[in-house]
Structures are given as structure tokens and as C-alpha cells.
Amino acid sequence: MNDMAEKTIIDIETEIVRTLKNIYDPEIPVNIYELGLIYEIEVDDDHNVEITMTLTAPNCPVADHLLEDIERQVSEIEGVQKATITLTFDPPWDQSMLSDEARLELGLM
């Protein structure tokens, strides 16, 4: 049995979330997962990953760099065949999407 067959979709999703929690918004000292920027993570049976996400602002000056960084880091996860990042602004991000951890980190709790 090869590594891809041994690694389940749930294992890959767990690794993706762990990876996303180590990627930070360059302007806010909180990771993109806890900021609520990640709307959906899908892993298909062939271990292709599609992440749907947003940004804190549509005119984010580092958007391209951030998306490339996410795609690169997720693609490097063992078992992932391909990572695709889809950017959406529907619904637009707002502070209600922050996790409790992010609220605490930002002094909002």
C-alpha cells in the first residue's frame, strides 16, 4: 500500500488546518484560519484539495503573495496531489468571523 492510500482524507484535512494555522495575515497578528478567512476545504478521493477563502479586504496589497504561499504550503503536505485556492468575497469578511482564539489574541474578549 502506498503513502497516498494510507493517508485518509480526514488525515489530509487535519494537516491542511494545521498548515493554515501557521500562515499569518501580514497586517494582523493572527493566522488565516482563526481569522475566519477559510470558508471551505474540500479534499476529493484523488487527494486534490480545493480551498475557498476570502481576505480581510478586497484591496489587500499582498493578496497574490498570500494565495501563492497557501497553495505552495498545502501542496507540500504529504498525500496532497494538487492544491487550488479560490478567492471569494461572498460573503465579505467581517469581525464576526473571528474565532474565539483570534478575538482573545486581538484583545476583543
Cα–Cα dist 30/22, whole Å: 9
Sequence ranges of the domains in the chain: 3-105
Cα dihedral 17, 22, 23, 27 sign:
positive
Mean pLDDT by 10 residues, the chain (109 residues): 66 97 90 97 96 93 93 97 96 95 91
Q: Is-contact 19 50, C-beta < 8 A?
A: no
Residue 15: CB atoms within 10 A of its CB come to 17
Q: What pLDDT, on the 0 to 100 scale, is given for residue 5?
A: 52
DSSP label at residue 8: -
Contacts of 30 (CB under 8 A, 6+ apart): 24, 98, 102, 105, 106
The pTM score is 0.90
Closest CA to 92 of 60, 64, 66: 60
* Alpha carbon 10 to chain centroid, angstroms: 15
pLDDT digits (tens, 9 = 90+) for 19-49: 999 999 888 889 999 999 999 999 999 999 9
CATH class of residue range 3-105: alpha beta
Q: What pLDDT, on the 0 to 100 scale, is given for residue 74?
A: 98
